[in-house]
């Protein structure tokens, strides 16, 4: 009988939010020696109970790691953690940046670690349900060979090209998703204004070209916060002249400024957009 060997790479996982925690759990279940860090340490407790080691600081987390994975809220969080971990990263280690930050941040990080650490940008497509099942789509840019087998524990790896290309493609994918959801919300607001039955309008849209966006606009048991949607659409709107996406970014920024929808899934933003579309 063929013997299966346990993974030997020591992995540090930084960022245990809605996506990070289930991703880290996949690596722990695969047998990787896992060290975790999160700004709110209490979020690490379930993983520690399952065998992970909790680090008190980002630097402590990465000091002995062969593979460092960051899954953080955005560019500012990534830069802050980078400042903390750069002096402690082991020479020859891999740093897999999986947050949605855009290619400029990846290039910036690449310059800071050049010659010492291999940086891979590998943001993910899919929500919390896919993360928990190990079925994410992983958009990996850069020299992926040394960590492809680690990333495969999290889902299907698509090699996108040079460093930064994964981050760039993720921005494209998220912009399409968020633009579609906002458009669904506005078309339903139009239906409301015309006095149409909301369920009838939703069904008609679901059978048309916006079908996928309709499904996501009303999805349950998944999570993509309005605050993160506002961040992602703002990143896209800075890259090119995108009037429609600027308007979409305003929708999500407004929702993110409202306490009850700020960190709620983007499906809750649909009702927010409809409610604020009345004249």
- CA–CA distance, 164 with 123 (Å, rounded to integer): 10
**Alpha-carbon distances of 224 from 174, 185, 194, 221, 278, rounded to whole Å:** 10, 16, 30, 10, 26
| Phi, psi (deg, nearest 5) at residue 58 | -55, -40
- CA–CA distance, 72 with 77 (Å, rounded to integer): 6
- Catalytic residue positions, numbered: 170
Count the neighbouring beta carbons within 10 Å of the beta carbon of residue 244. Answer: 12
* DSSP symbol at 218: T
Structure-block tokens of residue 181? 């959801």
- CA–CA distance, 271 with 261 (Å, rounded to integer): 10
Contacts of residue 172, Cβ cutoff 8 Å, sequence gap at least 6: 236
Say if residue 154 is exposed, middle or buried (CB neighbours under 10 Å; 0-12, 13-18, 19+): buried
Q: Are 229 and 171 in contact (CB under 8 A)?
A: no
Q: Are 216 and 181 in contact (CB under 8 A)?
A: yes
- The separation between CA 184 and the C-alpha centre of its own chain, rounded to angstroms, equals 22
Instruction: Establish how many alpha carbons lie within 13 A of residue 159's alpha carbon, considering only the half-sphere containing its beta carbon.
Output: 10
Q: Are 121 and 97 in contact (CB under 8 A)?
A: yes
């Amino acid at each position: 009988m063929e013997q299966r060997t346990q993974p030997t790479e020591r992995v540090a996982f930084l960022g245990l939010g809605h996506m990070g925690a289930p991703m880290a759990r996949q690596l722990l279940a695969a047998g990787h020696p896992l060290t975790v860090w999160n700004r709110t340490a209490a979020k690490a407790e379930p993983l520690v109970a399952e065998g992970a080691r909790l680090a008190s600081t980002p630097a402590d987390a990465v000091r002995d790691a062969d593979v460092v994975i960051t899954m953080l809220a955005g560019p500012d969080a990534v830069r802050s953690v980078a400042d903390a971990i750069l002096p402690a990263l082991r020479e020859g280690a891999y740093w897999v940046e999986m947050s949605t930050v855009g290619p400029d941040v990846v290039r910036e990080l690449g310059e800071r670690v050049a010659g010492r650490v291999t940086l891979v940008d590998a943001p993910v497509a899919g929500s919390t349900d896919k993360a928990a099942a190990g079925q994410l789509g992983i958009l990996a840019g850069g020299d992926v060979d040394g960590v492809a087998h680690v990333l495969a524990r999290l889902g299907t790896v698509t090699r996108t090209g040079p460093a930064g290309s994964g981050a760039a493609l993720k921005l494209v994918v998220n912009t399409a998703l968020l633009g579609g959801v906002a458009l669904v919300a506005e078309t339903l607001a139009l239906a409301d204004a015309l006095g149409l039955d909301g369920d009838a309008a939703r069904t008609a849209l679901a059978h048309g070209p916006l079908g996928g966006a309709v499904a996501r606009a009303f999805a349950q048991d998944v999570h993509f916060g309005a605050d993160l949607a506002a961040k992602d659409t703002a990143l896209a709107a800075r890259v090119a002249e995108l009037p429609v996406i600027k308007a979409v970014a305003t929708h999500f920024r407004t929702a993110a400024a409202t306490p009850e929808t700020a960190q709620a899934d983007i499906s809750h933003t649909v009702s927010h957009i409809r409610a604020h579309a009345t004249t």
